[in-house]
Structure 1
């Protein structure tokens, strides 16, 4: 019982109409995206992300908690309770260059975030300050 069924003209017209409308919608959406902010295609989104406040907790969790513990209690690396009292400059030197308070060199296992970066990008003073503020609040 094999029955050859062909599509009716109405079914073919409906499918073609759908394809044309979907293509037109995609094209209009694509071209509208290119015209955002004078043709920069997403510059507004990047600017909104760039101006968002730095989240010290998220940076700490993503870059520090693996060694220093979720609550900075220590683990592979030491606890950070004492670093809460460090000056901003001392904290930055430790995080960026592996130099602790008083200029002592930290263990080689401590990443030098000036070279390694935070989250795949160059570390900024604002990010280090946000991490320090988060650690102080623990």
Structure 2
């Protein structure tokens, strides 16, 4: 036992010795610094009053900058000297357990969070698949499907979710994920014609009806609606997704594109996006300011608040004429 302990301690020290000295290099330091500077500059511009017409573009650029920062591997932390002595018992524990835990995590440290999660999910797939096929339990099928979905193993995900739906045809997560996999051509039974596409869309829509307050239900519904050319409905679903999950960034580019196309065909949306969205939310459901969809003000009262302000809301006397009429039409439409 003493010999094994000494060998374990020697192996541990051999593994960690390269980390004891030297400086930590960050190959992404220049890019990270440039992106941080760009983020600070854009946030400063967004925080200053000014040309509100530029706000959507600034928001899109800020979103792209944040995604670029998220995509970079984490900055290396300064290395600290190892303890001069490690107990024999601790060495045995670390060497024995480290073969299955520490070393994989050390290897995953070089990946960004999304890649690390995908790799970890892929490592669990064989065990989860075997368990699900053995127990034939819905929860086990869902666990297998979720791990496969995260790992990008879409054939396995499709098979797992299809098996879960045989046990419960109204399982929302299995419905929406299987539906979006079929629509996007990622599953093993990807749609081949319009009828199959409609059936796959029905899975996503049914999931959204069963779980309307689940952010992913609205996110995948928005993607599916966009695939069918329903831009306004897709934007509404994606904006609801953002209201349910304010930290969600998955659909930023699509939301920006849909907002731009909607604003071009809807003058009221264009005026609202430039002057009101920053406080009342992109879809009028509230943010810093209250929800406009719950308002019951008359048209005359709405006009008075817009032009004269009320409470903490500033006045917007420059909104007048056709722009004012278009904005009032949009607000009244939301109230109705």
TM-score category, normalised to shorter length: 0.3 to 0.5
Higher helix share goes to which structure? Answer: 2
Bigger RCO (CA 8 Å, 6+ sep): 1
Q: Normalising to structure 1: TM-score of the pair?
A: 0.45
